[in-house]
A and B are shown apart, each in its own frame.
Chain A
Amino acid sequence: DVKVTQSSRYLVKRTGEKVFLECVQDMDHENMFWYRQDPGLGLRLIYFSYDVKMKEKGDIPEGYSVSREKKERFSLILESASTNQTSMYLCASSPPNWGSNNEQFFGPGTRLTVL
């Protein structure tokens, strides 16, 4: 059974804290993604990675950074958390050959609250 796991289901942090969200996939996928999901806005891409140590900015990268040191792990970092980063964060992975209608496999999400 394919799996994408995220380190926490719920997280509460204070403004200004550095926050790490971890994502691990066991499907040997090249592509990994971080999205945030907010009501009425759908899923918005923060960053994606198509290989180890490779990353590309998505639509809303400001205030975030990522790390991909190993193929199976993709981390999202909030350098200094702010209240407007309170959201549901979803990690996904997919095989290569992007544009060939590949399925994205999603983790269960991390609901982050920044106080």
Chain B
Amino acid sequence: TQLLEQSPQFLSIQEGENLTVYCNSSSVFSSLQWYRQEPGEGPVLLVTVVTGGEVKKLKRLTFQFGDARKDSSLHITAAQPGDTGLYLCAGPSSGTYKYIFGTGTRLKVLA
């Protein structure tokens, strides 16, 4: 069974600090996606990483796919209160229509 585990589960930091969120699996994924879910809303896609070792940047957010395609990280530089939310990683389940979602990291950035 493919699983995605995220760490940390909760993170509360001050505005301006940097942070990294991890998404790990013992299984290889063909790609991984990162979503952000704000309170009272559904998740919204931030990025998809496809190639092992790939790095993608979205303003202050940097996403990396592990060389072996078993893990991914999300680094936020100079966090802002608007970054507050639940961050979810997701990957396609091999041989099926399904996507597997990680357990999520709930981030709170204090002004």
Residues of chain A whose beta carbon lies under 8 Å from any beta carbon of chain B = 4, 9, 31, 35, 40-45, 48, 50, 56, 58-59, 90, 92, 98-99, 101, 103-104, 106-109
Contact = CB atoms under 8 A, between A and B. Distances in A.
A109 B41 contact: yes
B50 A43 contact: no
Interface in B43-102: 43-45, 48, 50, 88, 90, 92, 97-99, 101-102
Interface residues on B, range: 20 to 34
Contacts of B44: 106
Contacts of B42: 4, 90, 92, 106-109
Contact of B92 (A31, A45, A99): A99
Contacts of A48: 97-98
Residue among B33, B42, B43, B92 with max Cβ neighbours from chain A (10 Å): B42
A108 B41 contact: yes
A40 B102 CA distance: 9
Contacts of B50: 101
A98 B33 contact: no
A48 B70 CA distance: 26
B9 interface: yes
Given A43-B88, A90-B42, A101 B9 contact: no
B88 A42 contact: yes
A103 B45 contact: yes
Nearest to A88: B42
Interface string B11-50: 0000000000000000000110100000011111100101
B7 interface: no
Contacts of A40: 9, 103
Closest 7 CB pairs of A and B: A106-B42, A43-B101, A42-B101, A103-B45, A42-B103, A101-B48, A98-B97
A104 to B, nearest CB: 7
B45 A42 contact: no
A34 to B, nearest CB: 12
Contacts of B92: 98-99, 101
A49 to B, nearest CB: 10
A44 to B, nearest CB: 8
